[in-house]
Chains A and B, each alone.
Chain A
Amino acid sequence: MIIMQQKLRILLVEDEDHLLDAIKLNLELEGYKVHAVKDGKTALKIFKEERFNLIILDVMLPEMDGFQVCETIRLENTEVPILFLTAKNTSEDRVMGLKKGADDYLVKPFNLEELILRVGILVKRSMKSDDLKELNSYKIGDKTIYFNSFELKQDDGVIVPLTKKETMLLKLLIERKNEAVSREQILETVWNYDVYPSTRTIDNFILTFRKYFEPDQKNPVYFHSIRGVGYKFTDIHS
């Protein structure tokens, strides 16, 4: 569990120094990587530059309040869980927070144990259920992908080695077959939040897959580009 959590990144937005320090310390002790900022505008800037598994947001913030930050994030990203951590405790405030797109709302002063549990639940929900499933191999046409050994076996017995990223992207698309998977989801899952490659990089991977699997690369039947969204895998044999 600890190994899994070390990869998980949290954006913490809180303008009270002492509270920020104490929350950051606790989340780091739980194994999360925390990026802490003190105002709304910086939070948005950092959110655009990096990938996160959870955002913890105060409401009363300098420059731009937490509700606005949440609303702006939701315009581009509906997936990342957002937890409001605020002194505003009326039911109107809670309703407003949830309407703006938050997943959870915790009122100050809160219990440490409760914060950690809620963070854990939200982060777990954010992780693709696919990560928890075990898919060992998959057959596309006359070729079989072996995910654990990073190999592609042709029907003539020739084995083509796959890179780790190729394998991960194949796994993601196959597990979501017949669904459009956004570039953002691909970046989150395959590039693991750390590096932000250009979208051309993903295009190149898809071209490689077409070379491997498509009978006619110009008219793909397995790997489709969905304009403005991302990519979709369809299996004509299933």
Chain B
Amino acid sequence: MVMGEGSVFLFLLCIGAFFLHQSIKKEDKLREQQQNFLLSVTHELKSPLAAIKLSLQTIVKRDLDKARQTSLLNNSLKDIERLDDLVENMLLATKIENRSYSFPKEEFDFSDLVSKITDRLQVHSCGCEQIINPKIAPQVKVNGDPFSLSCVVTNLVENAVKYSGPCAEICVELEMRDGHPFLTVADKGPGIPDAEKMLIFDKFYRVGDENTRKAKGTGLGLFIVKEVLQKHDADISVRDNVPQGTIFEVTFS
């Protein structure tokens, strides 16, 4: 009798200890990710600011020729766009978190939106004539929020550019499959280990160490992608590209 009660008590105690341990581990992980987020945001905000400030001070201080001035100013404009994208992502992520964003939906031309984004990001590419290869079927309509969906497409394509080698081709395809809009973004980067494929959509999650990462970012992009697509009843999946890289597939219902 006593033995029986004792072992039940011990069993419950073990289960309790296990859950407590899991919960502490989760908390630690979250704290570490938030710390990484602070680090990466610091870097992502201050680096373009430093570059803009230095470029403008250079133009003021030096007697530069027109070509050099234009190059410094163009770099500054790109840095301002980068800051703008970052601020948009941070605001949208915050609004999603506190449920203050309503995702105003309307039927719109998704083909047109994807084309505009691929055109814009093409300009950012490494100087090659074309690294983004768009295959966009015309007139693909989606009932959704154009602003948040444009963030989804921008984040997916920017990630593909960021993680690909210099001048590696990125494929962006949009078509109707089984009567539903179907978007694919495929890169030839290093790929994502299987164990991390499900984690990459977590807020602040980033692969690798913050201090020595090749591609910079904040860990907000894919969190926004997942949250926005959930609000649109759309699915996202990630699989390996052949011979290397990653393919993101988005299916609208």
Residues of A at the B interface (CB closer than 8 Å) are 16-19, 21-23, 25-26, 29, 39-40, 59-65, 67, 87-89, 108-113
Take A60-B43, A63-B212, A65-B212 as given contacts and tell me if A112 and B50 are in contact as well, using a CB distance cutoff of 8 Å.
Answer: no
Contacts of B54 in A (CB 8 A): 19, 22-23, 26, 109-110, 112
Question: From residue A68, how far is it (CB to closest CB) to chain B in Å?
Answer: 8
- B51 interface hit (Cβ, 8 Å): yes
**Interface SS, A side:** loop
Q: Cβ of B58 and Cβ of A22 under 8 Å apart?
A: yes
Q: Cβ of B57 and Cβ of A112 under 8 Å apart?
A: yes
Residues of B at the A interface (CB closer than 8 Å) are 39, 42-43, 45-55, 57-58, 61-62, 68, 71-72, 75-76, 78-79, 210-214, 216
CB-contact partner of B211 in A22, A65, A108, A111, under 8 A: A65
Q: Cβ of A19 and Cβ of B50 under 8 Å apart?
A: yes
Q: Cβ of B79 and Cβ of A108 under 8 Å apart?
A: no
Q: Cβ of B212 and Cβ of A16 under 8 Å apart?
A: no
Question: From residue A14, how far is it (CB to closest CB) to chain B in Å?
Answer: 9
Q: Cβ of B75 and Cβ of A21 under 8 Å apart?
A: yes
CA distance in complex: A21, B39 (Å) = 24
Question: From residue B84, how far is it (CB to closest CB) to chain A in Å?
Answer: 15
Take A108-B46, A108-B47 as given contacts and tell me if A18 and B62 are in contact as well, using a CB distance cutoff of 8 Å.
Answer: no
Contacts of A26 in B (CB 8 A): 54, 58, 62
CA distance in complex: A26, B54 (Å) = 9
Contacts of A59 in B (CB 8 A): 211
Take A25-B68, A61-B212 as given contacts and tell me if A19 and B57 are in contact as well, using a CB distance cutoff of 8 Å.
Answer: no
